[in-house]
Amino acid sequence: KLQASGGGAVQAGGSLRLSCSASGFSVDNYPMMWFRQAPGKEREGVSCIRNSDGSTYYRDSVKGRFTISRDRAKNSVYLQMDSLKPEDAAVYYCVTDFEWPCNDRIGTVRDYVMDYWGKGTLVTVSS
């Protein structure tokens, strides 16, 4: 089970930290991803962290602004979002999959590839 939290309303330029608590499996054993879905748009991959070596990947539009991390002790994954823009507004989902390897295709991978989704958390960014 995946439970995302930490969403909210911020002004452009602000920051938010999303959290994803995992239960039933270890975040060390599988790649962990963040996806998002803006109104009227398809879900898109935002970032992922590889379980084997901790490598991280981001879609181009968030590189340098977002940081994904994990805490083994808390069995959780985080997404630190800085310098938020109105176009970052979306419902953010914590996701994992037992086969997709987490790589630099996070920005283009289709959502139907992923098997396990948590409930989303809403991020609103005002200009």
Q: What's the one-letter identity of residue 66?
A: F
CB 47 within 8 A of CB 106: yes
What is the chain's pLDDT, residue by residue, as a tens digit (127 residues)? 999 999 999 999 999 999 999 999 999 999 999 999 999 999 999 999 999 999 999 999 999 999 999 999 999 999 999 999 999 999 999 999 989 989 999 999 999 999 999 999 999 999 9
What is the DSSP secondary-structure string of 52-74?
A: TT--EEE-GGGTTTEEEEEETTT
Provide the pLDDT for residue 76. 97
